[in-house]
Every structure is written in C-alpha cells, then in structure tokens.
Amino acid sequence: MPTPNFSPVHDRQRRTIRPHLPMRPLWLCRVCAAPWPCQPARLLLLMDYRRDRVGLSVYMAGILFDATADLMTLNPNPGPSPRELFDRFLAWTARQPF
C-alpha cells in the first residue's frame, strides 16, 4: 500500500543542502568534519558569490584573519604556516585562467 505522504516534491524537500559552516575555534566543518572551508563549502560560497568574486575574496580575507588568530591560539607551536592558511582560506577564490 503506498504511503500517503510520499510524493516527489516531498522527497526533494527532505534532501535540502545542509550548510557546511565552520566550527570555531577549530575551523572544522560542522557537517563533514573536514578542515573548513571544505569542498562543499567552497562550492556553496562560489555559488553565493558567483557575480562578485572580489567580494568573495574580501570575505574570505576576513575569515583568514579570524581563523589565524583562533588556530594560532590553539596550536602556537609550531602552528599553521602562513602559506597553508593562505592556500586554505584565500588562494582558491582567485578566478582560474582559461
């Protein structure tokens, strides 16, 4: 016997995209526990800022500032390198050449 509440629309509503947000001060993804911004977070941010890549870079530069303070407080020795932090939080925001 079919379930009365089953419909393709109802099924699609259950499969909403969960935001991949950071868990501070660890800067891990709340959904997948990967270092944030994880790949899904990057894709969602790129979609949100698809018409404003400079805005995305400015936003992520602010995030880099906050994350650096948090991560250096948690792990002062040896701490994350500036290069690692730049690559993780900002480098991926640059538009890729064709």
pLDDT tens-digit series, residues 28-66: 999 999 999 999 999 999 999 999 999 999 999 999 999
Q: Is the peptide bond before 78 cis (omega within 30 degrees of 0)?
A: yes
Strand partners, 22: 29
Instruction: Specify the DSSP element, H or E, that contains 77.
Output: none
Q: How far apart are CA 68 and CA 81, in angstroms?
A: 10
pLDDT (0 to 100) of residue 1: 47
- Interval 69-87: pLDDT, tens: 999 999 988 889 999 999 9
86 neighbors 42 (Cβ within 8 angstroms): no
